[in-house]
Structure 1
Amino acid sequence: MAKAKNNSKLDTFLKRNTSRDLYERIRAYEPCVVVSGSVKKVFMHVILSDERIYLSEYLPRALRKALSFRNITSIELINDLPDFLSGRERERSLHIRVVHTANNAGKKSEAPQGSSKNKPECPSVSPSQRHDLGVRQSLEEMSHVLLSTCSAPSESSDWRISPTSMSDDRLEKEEGGIISKRRSASCPNPDVLGLGLIPTFPQSPSSVHLSSSSIAPLPSITNNQHWTPAQTDRPAVSSRRSSILTRLMRRTLAEKDREKKEDEKEELHLYAVSPTSLIYLHLQSAWSSYLIRSTLMLDPVHRKRCGISSSFPGKQRCHKISWERTCHLFSQWSGELLQEDISLERMYLLLQELHTATYRNPTIKKLFWRSPDLYPFLVKTLTESSQVTLERVHKADRLLLCILVVQTLSLMFRETEIEAARLSMLTAQQGTLTANMLLALVCDPELQLPDSTNVSQSSNTKLQGLQADYLDAASALLFEVVVLCQEASRTPALGHFLTVSWVFRSLKPHPFLLPFVGYQAQQVVLVLSGQQCPISPSIAVLLYQRCSVLLACLQQSTFLSKYIRTGFKEEFRYYVKTSGLEHKLPHHYPISQPAQHLLSQLLSLVLQKP
């Protein structure tokens, strides 16, 4: 479903009231009855971007952040008939329950995501990590107070902004003019205003002790010492410090309580009343894409390969060129790629440029599928490279090119389900091009090396490494195709033939299909039985993708199901243990919980008695 379908008024509103970056990342929208902690049975537009769920009135006036995908724990359909609907709407309603952790951002109206004043979102962290961050912040604030005898705000400025509160007044009196009253009525925190009253120190608990060494010690009090008026202020300063530390300790405890509340589960209920509603599919797809993307962003190796900054992975979005300029550059690039007799090296460099640019600009995905030549060209390149003889000449170069082609196709498949041109391209001529891509994708996992004494062992090792990289990329692309067909099979009104069963029927004649699927099962067992703990974010995503493909094989293909159960039942029984998954898949990986659920399903089916 295209986001502009049947509602040009909402589309115009979004175009005018959001940044171009956010507008291009809106995946779908649909009117639903919304029920949550702050919204009670209101007919609103539910708007999905690649990071959040937004809400807007049916006659749009404002855009409200409702929920971030990072807070979602499950999305499920509920089989019931809502009592607040009647007639045909009650019978054809689709009830979706979204379970999530507490989300304070959704309880008040905020500026749209993507505006220049908003900071990029960071990947979700575990409760223990949030606690550690809070403790470090509090210790830093204590060091500021001890060094400057300045007071920190007694409450969080997010929800307590009144400058006339009792605590602030009493603090002003206690300080006795140490800090002049220069705080804004709407922002009592001097740090936010940039007044420079408190210096910045490293965020480390040790900074409290290290930095305090630069303070001149208080003069010792002896019986022979004569007191002066200036010295009588010292006990008052010490008392103020004690009072400030007490307030900071209370604030830390309050933050801990708030963190516990944030971990509590809340629910967002959506009731779609359209008989052709696709909101559930779009929700599932957007959430899955977010889990994969945000987990990969935790891996510095992945960010480096994609040309994304390690410090600020979302910052590149702020520096965008216009749609017209993007189209012009893309046209120039595609014209150069599609030239006849292009060299292998030049083709590789151009594809690498496309791959990197697509991570920074999602517009390129739309332009890719709207081009009539690029997808057929990549499929042709992959087919020709896979049919190259097993001679060693240029084999490494060909493997590198195949890896890049497959990775680029995976990137173009992801998060483009609402692009109508993609479905038209994939289903053209009864899916002939897509079937050719699948047949070219599958290969023999055993790399056949030539018998030659001139070939060094290091060269053979390099080739084997490239072959493993290709198989990883191939499993990721096969995952994208399986997800595409799963979504397509749930929308029979579209009238196309794409199903998971069609994928395996197309691949069945391939001579290396069974070894290829066996390799995927082998890798799952090796990762889960290996010593690496925890596994890297990229391997966690690959594990999730491989498990999805294997699960589809078990559910949709009789001969592949029999092959997996016969060949790998004992390996799964003895080496795959769900009890130790939390060590392999740490809590702060967004993909961890869905991957553990998928593994439990996979293990159950593999060990199932015939």
Structure 2
Amino acid sequence: AFLRRHMAPEVYDAIRAYEPCIVVSDSEKHAFKFVVLSDRLIYLTENPPRSLRRVVALRDVVAIDLIDDYPTFLNSPDREINQHIRIIYSSTILKKECERSKSVGKFLFPFHHTNANNKKVKKENNGPTFWRRKDSSLPNESSLRSEEKIRHFSQLKSELFLKDNTLRKILCLIMELKVAAQKNFILKRLFWKTSDLFCFLVNKLHEYLPESRDKRALQNKSQRADELAAGIKITQTLGLMFRETEIESSRLNTLAAKTGTLFNLLVILISKPRIPASCSVLDGRLVSDSTSAEMSFDAELQKLILEYTDTATALLYEILLVFQQENLGLGSTKFAISWMMSFLQSCPPIIAFVANIVKQVVKGLSASSQLLSPCQAVLLYQQFYILKSCLRYSKMLAEHIRNDYSEEFRYFIHMPALEKRLPLCYPITEPTTELLHEVLKLMEPKAER
């Protein structure tokens, strides 16, 4: 009720979570408050709440460090259910907003503070810190959902489930769902509330990948291109639904109840899409002079395959994060990353998938002296994370990578190459550097998993 009174409706709908925390700063020593997380900002309020202060813009966050999984300054049982973390951030975005708003004053924030510029990020040694509960509290779901958003989501589902939908109609509806979920976090909650839409999207993806169920697509490159485009949008939408929904219990319940569907999705993601052999059929018409047309379609198909591979990598990374949580409190169902890697190593396509990951990393680090774009930097981090998971949690895949790709790591995948390609001003540069250190350590012959 307090948040609803003090926030505009569109801001209130964007709240992700709130939880109690202890604030330690220059002016406050172990003050008990509440931290509120939205899709753009972190807020702070008193206990009991009296005012709401914007304290950090998420775009200013440089890094998040775990100081202690069991805070030493707390007593049991509080120590068992809380974490001591530090957020390193600059004040660029929030400072600009404060300058534009007379109602915003100077904020005291319980996180480790830093000044960031385009060249270097410096960490202060004695910055303020805070602790948070491991089990976040969510605002009341019913208070967050507007009838309009629920109706929109229900309408999209109903239209997607129609049996006579064309491929283009399905693609348009999935795009509409993706855009709506990007704008309103509530749609992600609605997506995971039941398993039907998750299963529908995975089954629909399986109609197109790794090969088409429509035999006509085996001879029609135009149709196959449309199917690959649909597969890309489905994969992107699933990735969006996984992203930033860790605290949604309905997501965990759905995945636990639909492990078969989840494993089918994993197989699809690591399998290379199949495309028609050389042919001259274009939209059902035989092309007499087909050489240039075929070359054009071949290039388009290869471009789509590359784009799909990148989106599949991003989604696999999100699923790895789910399994990284190990036991998710779902009774006998244990989502452990070792279990996932055991399943993946039993799938024949995984060898080719790992080979492609290594190939893409080599290409990203050695293609040119040009700096990586932000999207390329994120993809590189995800690729390193997948390699680390293979090296650490799968003995078979670890031996395969060490034996077959030692030359790639010796000449192309190393720290100097990464430093040349990643700008220091990127927030993801530091965690990517640390991740590569881990991967290189695991590549050593006697590296322990």
Q: Residue 249 of structure 2 corresponds to which residue in structure 1?
A: 420
Change beyond 3 A, Cα 1:561–1:332: same
Deviation at 1:31, TM superposition (A): 2.0
Q: Is the 8 A contact 2:71 2:131 kept in 1?
A: no
Q: TM-score, normalised by structure 2?
A: 0.81
1:17 aligns with 2:6: yes
Distance 2:331 2:16 in 1: 18
Q: Give the structure 1 partner of residue 315 of structure 2.
A: 477
Give the 5 Å matches for 1:196-345.
Answer: 264=124, 267-272=127-132, 277-278=134-135, 323-345=146-168
2:421 matches 1:579: no
TM-score, normalised on structure 1? 0.61
> How far is the alpha carbon of 1:50 from its aligned partner?
3.5
**Aligned mates of 1:494, 1:67 — CA distance in 2:** 37
Distance in 1 of aligned mates of 2:300 and 2:276: 12
User: Which of 264, 267, 270 does residue 439 from structure 1 map onto?
Assistant: 267
Could you tell me how far apart the structure 2 residues matched to 1:579 and 1:606 are? 17
Report the alpha carbon displacement of residue 432 of structure 1 after superposing the two structures with TM: 1.5
Q: How much has 1:568 moved relative to structure 2?
A: 1.2
Q: Distance in 2 between matches of 1:495 and 1:18?
A: 41
Match of 1:391 in 2: 218
Paired-residue identity, %? 33
- Assess if the C-alpha contact under 8 Å between 2:71 and 2:84 holds in 1: no
Give the equivalent residue in structure 2 for 1:541. Answer: 378
1:343 CA drift (Å): 0.8
* Residue among 415, 436, 461 paired with 2:299: 461
| In structure 1, distance between residues paired with 2:365 and 2:12 | 40
Other-structure match for 1:96: 84
Shift of 1:327: 1.6
2:118·2:425 contact (CA, 8 Å) conserved in 1?
A: no
C-alpha change, 1:448 and 1:104, in structure 2 (3 Å) is closer
Identify the residue that residue 110 of structure 2 maps to in structure 1. none
CA contact under 8 A between 1:100 and 1:265: conserved in structure 2? no
RMSD: 3.5
Q: For the residues of structure 1 that align with 2:151 and 2:70, how far apart are their CA atoms?
A: 51
What letter matches 1:269 in structure 2? T
SS of equivalent to 2:263? helix
Contact 1:25-1:49 within 8 A present in 2 as well:
yes
Does the 8 A contact of 2:345 with 2:397 survive in 1? Answer: no
How far has the Cα of 1:358 moved from its partner?
2.2
Moved more, 530-539 or 69-78: 69-78
Bigger shift: residues 462-471 or 431-440: 431-440
The equivalent of 2:36 in structure 1 is 47
Which of 351, 363, 379 pairs up with 2:174?
Answer: 351
Listed one character per residue, the Cα deviations across residues 517-547 of structure 1 (whole Å, up to 9, x for unaligned) are: 2211211121111204201111111111111
Q: What is the aligned counterpart of 1:568 among 405, 411, 417?
A: 405
* 2:36 alignment partner, SS class: strand
Q: Which residue is 1:554 aligned to?
A: 391
Q: Distance in 2 between matches of 1:95 and 1:51?
A: 23
- Asked if 1 retains the 8 angstrom alpha-carbon contact of 2:42 and 2:55, the reply is yes
Assess if the C-alpha contact under 8 Å between 1:351 and 1:405 holds in 2: yes
Aligned mates of 2:92, 2:179 — CA distance in 1: 35
Which amino acid letter does the alignment assign opposite residue 163 of structure 2? Answer: E
How do 1:80-91 residues align onto structure 2 when only pairs under 5 Å count? 82=72, 85-86=74-75, 88-89=76-77
Letter in 2 for 1:391: L
Tell me the SS of whatever aligns to 1:32.
strand
Contact 1:125 1:588 in 2 (8 A): no
The answer for the alignment partner of 1:382 in structure 2 is: 205
User: Residue 502 and residue 584 in structure 1: after superposition, are their counterparts in 2 closer, same or farther (change >3 A)?
Assistant: same
In 1: Cα distance, 2:444 partner to 2:362 partner? 14
CA-to-partner distance for each residue in 1:2-54, whole Å, 9 max, x for gaps? xxxxxxxxxx2222222333333333232232222232111222333334433
5+ long unaligned stretches in structure 2: 105-113, 139-143, 281-289
Q: Report the AA paired with residue 545 of structure 1.
A: Q
Deviation at 1:514, TM superposition (A): 1.0
Gapped regions of structure 1 (runs ≥ 5): 1-11, 117-123, 131-259, 283-320
Q: 1:528 aligns with which of 365, 368, 382?
A: 365
- Structure number with the bigger relative contact order (C-alpha 8 A, sep ≥ 6) is 1
Does the 8 Å CA contact 2:41/2:56 hold for their aligned counterparts?
A: yes
1:126 deviates by: 5.3
Kindly provide the amino acid, as one letter, of the partner of residue 354 in structure 1. L
TM-superposed deviation, 1:104: 9.5
**Aligned partners of 2:63 and 2:89 also within 8 Å:** yes
Deviation digits for residues 200-222 of structure 1 (CA, Å, limit 9, x no counterpart): xxxxxxxxxxxxxxxxxxxxxxx
Task: Report the equivalent of 2:277.
Answer: 450
The structure number with the bigger radius of gyration is 1
Of 46, 63, 66, 1:73 maps to: 63
CA 1:493 to 1:473, structure 2 compared with 1: closer, same or farther past 3 Å? closer
**SS of structure 2 residue aligned to 1:21:** helix
Distance 1:438 1:493, change over 3 A: closer
Q: Structure 2 vs 1, CA of residues 377 and 526 (structure 1 numbering), >3 Å: closer, same or farther?
A: same
Shift of 1:592: 1.8
Report the CA distance shift for 1:266/1:491 in structure 2 as closer, same or farther (over 3 A).
Answer: farther
State the shift of 1:361 in Å.
2.2
> In structure 1, how many angstroms separate the alpha carbons of the residues matched to 2:253 and 2:29?
40
Query: 2: distance between equivalents of 1:55 and 1:267?
Result: 17
Question: 1:511 deviation in Å?
Answer: 2.5
Kept after mapping to 2: 8 A contact 1:66/1:105: no
Name the aligned partner's letter for residue 529 of structure 1.
Answer: S
Q: Offset of 1:493 from its aligned partner?
A: 7.4
Aligned CA distance change for structure 1 residues 95 and 609 (closer, same or farther; 3 Å): same
Q: Is the 8 A contact 1:102 1:265 kept in 2?
A: no
Give the secondary-structure state (helix, strand or coil) at the position aligned to 1:425.
helix
The structural deviation recorded for 1:409 is: 0.4
C-alpha spacing 1:419/1:491, structure 2 compared with 1 (3 Å): closer
CA distance in 1, matches of 2:275, 2:340: 27
Give the 5 Å matches for 1:150-165: none
Report the residue type matching 1:355 in the other structure: K
Offset of residue 71 of structure 1: 3.6
